[in-house]
Structure 1
Amino acid sequence: MNLYAVRAIYWFELSRWFRTLTQSILAPVISTSLYFVVFGSAIGSRMHAIGGVSYGAFIVPGLMMLSVLTESISNASFGIHMPKWAGTIYELLSAPVSWVEAVLGYVGAAATKSVLLGVLILATARLFVPFQIAHPFWMLGFLVLTALTFSLFGFIIGVWAEGWEKLQIVPILVVTPLTFLGGSFYSISMLPPLWRQITLFNPVVYLISGFRWSFYGLSDVGVVLSLSMTLGFMAVCLLLIWRIFQTGYHLRT
């Protein structure tokens, strides 16, 4: 394992993030704060508690997942697409660096940024609504696992995209709608039976459900199923990335 190469990629990506703190940190935090003001205070004060949890507190895990998913994909896709666009990807491919070491550097940095942002949003949420974390260990575990999984997914998008505009297609047209429809602002048990069954095909439901369980002990689906679905998606992403480096898909051409 070439740890020097992993550290070099990792710290290079983190240093780029620190140079754009306003865009990377301030913008997501302000956006999330507005959600808390509108949904947590204005609308939440007029809604009944869900499972004994106030509406403002109920949406905290969903809003965290919304930010973590979006930032994980954005950070990882931008990180690998930039060297492709600049042509420096060939230096990486010709260096004595395996695909595992490259992925550890890029994905590790993207996941670290997302986890830090998630913790910051959690602290920000505390300013607006009181809440408890029933299972802090599992909360941190789900947060890290989600950040890693969707950073891997973002890495794939960054390799697949042939231009900067394509980097936004999947996050905007696929991931964000799935997150909003995945129970971020409601429990899927509130839906009619038919729509509840359809919603179960949304993979984001399992992420949000498991994450919300770590806060309040409430979940729309089983925690083991949530964890299994997340690990399964991570395994698929790792398999695709391995295949990308084996074939050189959109890397050598």
Structure 2
Amino acid sequence: MNMQAVWAIYRFEMARAFRTKLQSIVSPVLSTSLYFIVFGGAIGSRIETIDGVSYGAFIVPGLIMLSLLTQSIANASFGIYFPKFTGTIYEVLSAPISTFEIVLAYVGAAATKSIMLGLIILATAAFFIDLQIAHPFWMFLYLVLTALTFSLFGFIIGIWADGFEKLQIVPLLIVTPLTFLGGSFYSIDMLPPFWQKVTLFNPVVYLVSGFRWSFYGVSDVSIGVSTAMTLLILVLCMVCVWYIFKTGWRLKP
């Protein structure tokens, strides 16, 4: 493995994030803090508990997951789209570096930035509520798996997009609504039976449910099913990336 090439791309992508701290780190943390204040403070004062957990604490995993999904997609999609836009992607493709190493570098950098952001938001949440993490290992594992999965998904979007506008379509019109409807701010047990069944077709439900279980030991879906769905999405994204590089779709004229 050409680790020098992987490290060069990885370091470049990380440096780009640190050059834009206000947009990459400060802005998502401030936005999530507003959610804590509005939902945890204003609405939480009117809701006693959900599954034995205070409402302010209950929404923390969902808010972290919301930021994790959107930032993973944004970081990875822009990271691979910009070389396409400037034409430098052909230099990367012609360099002595394999497909796996290219994906490892770009996706690894995007996932690292998202994990860092998730941990910062987690630390910020501790200022607003009394946090308890029942299963720290599972919490970090879900954090890493989700960041990797949606960084791969963002990588696919970055290759698919042929304009800056398309980079925002999927996160804004699909991922964010699915996250809001995936039990981030409520338990799906609170829904009517019909909508409970419909909600199970939303893949984000399994991510949020598994992540929340790692905090409080309560979930809408069993931890085994949540983990299996997370791994399934990860594998599907890996297959899509493999197909893209195998065929050269949207990469080669």
TM-score range normalised by the length of the shorter chain = over 0.9
1:112-191 to 2 correspondences below 5 Å: 112-191=112-191
TM-score where L is the length of structure 2? 0.99
- Output one character per residue of 1:97-135: Cα deviation in whole Å (capped at 9) or x when no partner: 111000000000000000000000001101111120000
Matched, 1:236 2:246: no
Once the two structures are superposed, what CA deviation does each residue of 1:162-217 show, in whole Å capped at 9, x if it has no partner? 11000000000000000000000000010000000000000000000000000000
User: Which structure 1 segments of 5+ residues have no match?
Assistant: none
Runs of 4+ in 1 over 2 A off after TM superposition: none
Task: Please give the alpha-carbon distance, in whole angstroms, between the structure 1 residues aligned to 2:102 and 2:33.
Answer: 35
Q: Counterparts of 2:85 and 2:100 in 1: how far apart (Å)?
A: 22
One-letter amino acid matched to 1:251: L
Q: Which residue of 1 aligns with 2:94?
A: 94
2:101 alignment partner, SS class? helix
Aligned AA (2:2): N
Which AA in structure 1 matches 2:221? V
Q: CA deviation at 1:48?
A: 1.9
The one-letter amino acid paired with 1:146 is: T
Counterpart code for 1:33: S
Matches within 5 A, 1:15-34: 15-34=15-34
Counterpart residue number, 1:10: 10
Structure 2 unaligned runs (5+)?
Answer: none
Q: In the TM superposition, what whole-angstrom CA distance separates every residue of 1:54-102 from its partner, at most 9, and x where no partner exists?
A: 0000000000000000000000000000000000000011111111000
Tell me, in whole angstroms, the C-alpha distance in 2 between the residues paired with 1:145 and 1:189: 25
Distance 2:52 2:206 in 1: 21
Alignment-mate amino acid for residue 237 of structure 1: C
CA–CA distance in structure 1, aligned partners of residues 42 and 229 of structure 2:
34
Q: CA deviation at 1:51?
A: 1.2
In the alignment, structure 1 residue 67 sits paired with structure 2 residue 67: yes
Counterpart position of 2:56 = 56
Letter in 1 for 2:123: A
Shift of the alpha carbon at 1:10? 0.5
| SS state at 1:185 partner | coil
Amino acid across the alignment from 1:208: V
**TM-score of the superposed pair, with normalisation by structure 1:** 0.99
What residue is the counterpart of 1:110 in the other structure? 110
Tell me the CA shift for residue 17 of structure 1.
0.3
